[in-house]
Amino acid sequence: MKLVILACLAAVAVAAPQFSRHYTHPYHPDYRHIAILRDDRQDNGDGNFRYDFETENGIAVSAVGRPGSRGQSNIQGSYRFPFPSGGYGEVRYVADELGYRPSSPLIPTPHPLPAHAIEQIRIAEDQRRRGITFQ
CA angle 100, 102, 108 (to 5 degrees): 125
Residue 120 forms part of a structural domain: yes
Does residue 10 form part of some domain? no
24 domain residue, yes or no: no
Please state, in angstroms and rounded to a whole number, the distance separating the CA atoms of residues 98 and 92: 16
Number of independent structural domains in the chain: 1
pLDDT tens for residues 17-67? 554 445 556 677 777 788 999 999 999 989 899 999 999 999 999 999 999
Q: Is residue 6 part of a domain?
A: no
pLDDT digits (tens, 9 = 90+) for 78-101: 999 999 888 999 999 999 999 999
Asked if 88 and 80 count as a contact pair (C-beta separation under 8 A), the reply is yes
User: Is 13 inside a domain boundary?
Assistant: no
In a domain, 30, yes or no: no
Give Cβ neighbours of residue 134 (< 8 Å, ≥ 6 apart): none
Does residue 5 form part of some domain?
no
Question: Domain range spanning residue 102?
Answer: 36-128
Instruction: Judge whether 113 lies within some domain.
Output: yes
Which pLDDT belongs to residue 122? 94
